[in-house]
Amino acid sequence: MKSIVLSLCGLFFAASLWAQNQFTDHSTTVVSYFRQWEQKTYHVKRQQYKSINGQKNFLDDARYNLRLTVVKAAEDHYAIDALYTNFSNASNGNLNDIPDSLMVRYGTDEMGSFWQIVNADEVSNKLVAALEKVPRTEQNAAAIEEERQKRLSKDYLEEIFIKDIRLLHLPYGMEYDQQNPIVAPTKIPNLLGGKEPFPGTVTIALSKIDTAKKWAKVIIEQQLDQSKLSPILQAWTSEANQNSTEKIALPKVEASDSNVFEVDLESGWLQKAVFVRKTIINEVEQADILELVLQ
């Protein structure tokens, strides 16, 4: 994806000259123009559910605020403090729970793309300490210990735990075009447990733009390529039936990731970011939803 990132030199020049994103009636850059000590608060909705034959079971359902403060705005990077507050759901032992008042300091590049957690050790220690408050039973003891080991890893914190922060910085450093969307092949994990990934497509495009309001909606989506997937599923079913006394039907397999962002083109701040991941295997549907709205 970063092969389509805008030229750094050109962006430095543009930033100093105009200090806002460059756009036309059908295209726009998405680059951050944050100011030091600027502060923004996002309301976050986080959900995960599994549905079997239409019966939904929520595995996670949280609401909270994420307050961002730009503590450093340098020529080549930003340092931002993210404070988690105002959780509306009481803790029920969910391993996804985030401690109230957790502060994550992280860095981005000059365009706003996420770089790394700066205070990873401090965050890790607080998250591990929070696990100690989860009541342990024979059923969850192993899962809690596994989660504790994960939280000691900086990679886990950056790739898995702070999905909200990563989502807020996903669209930066690219140019989006209504007339020339980027559509490219990609690989999606094998949902049937095989080693070979499934074929998919990724789309990067400008959905809407209002030049008068300096506002745009951009999308980054990926989904299974059903035309290429069909023969793979047929071969899988044929092989499975050779080793089974009961005939196995051709499975229904669907998967998609949708990222939608509304951007203030003058400041570069996102007004809204929504991530939806859906997977369907026969009658079982699972969804992950993350929505951040600027307050």
CB 58 within 8 A of CB 52: no
Domains of the chain as residue ranges with CATH: 2-11+21-294 (2.30.230)
Predicted pLDDT of residue 93: 52
Dihedrals phi, psi of 105, to nearest 5 degrees? -95, 125
DSSP letter at 14 equals: H
Poorest-pLDDT segment among 4-18, 180-194, 201-215, 244-258: 4-18
How many Å separate Cα 169 from the centre of its chain?
9
DSSP letter at 23 equals: B
Token look-up 């949902």 returns 191
Predicted pLDDT of residue 18: 47
Q: Which residues, in sequence order, are bridge partners of residue 73?
A: 78
Give tens-digit pLDDT for 232-282.
999 999 988 887 778 889 999 999 999 999 999 999 999 999 999 999 999
CB atoms within 10 A of CB 250: 12
Element spanning 129, H or E = helix 120-131
pLDDT band of residue 2 (cuts 50, 70, 90) is very low
**Residues 122-137, mean pLDDT to the nearest whole number:** 88
Poorest-pLDDT segment among 95-109, 159-173, 213-227: 95-109
User: What percent of the chain has a predicted confidence (pLDDT) above 70?
Assistant: 91
Query: What is the C-alpha separation between 6 and 63, in angstroms, rounded?
Result: 35
pLDDT band of residue 7 (cuts 50, 70, 90) is very low
In a 3-state reduction of DSSP, which class is residue 228? helix
Return the higher-pLDDT residue of 89 and 115: 115
- Six-digit token pair at 21? 């994103």
For residue 113, give the amino acid letter: S
Q: Which of 261, 281, 290, 289 is nearest to 189 (CA)?
A: 281
**Secondary structure, 3-state, 135-197:** CCCCCCHHHHHHHHHHHCCHHHHHHHHCHHHHHHHCCCCEEEECCCCEEEEEEECCCCCCCCC
**Residues 30-50, mean pLDDT to the nearest whole number:** 96
Q: Whole-model pTM?
A: 0.88
DSSP letter at 75 equals: S
Predicted pLDDT of residue 85: 95
How many Å separate Cα 38 from the centre of its chain?
23
Predicted pLDDT of residue 124: 94
Q: Which residues, in sequence order, are bridge partners of residue 211?
A: none
Query: What is the C-alpha separation between 52 and 98, in angstroms, rounded?
Result: 28
Query: What is the C-alpha separation between 120 and 101, in angstroms, rounded?
Result: 15
List of residues 6+ apart from 270 with CB closer than 8 A: 168, 171, 261, 262, 263, 264, 292, 294
Is it the case that residue 16 has pLDDT exceeding 70?
no
Query: What is the C-alpha separation between 117 and 137, in angstroms, rounded?
Result: 32
**Residues 105-110, mean pLDDT to the nearest whole number:** 97
**Residues 123-138, mean pLDDT to the nearest whole number:** 87
Exposure string over 115-150, b if 16+ CB within 10 A, otherwise e: eebbebeebbebbeebbeebeeeeeeeeebeebbeb
Give tens-digit pLDDT for 145-184.
888 898 999 999 998 899 999 999 999 999 999 999 999 9
Predicted pLDDT of residue 96: 67
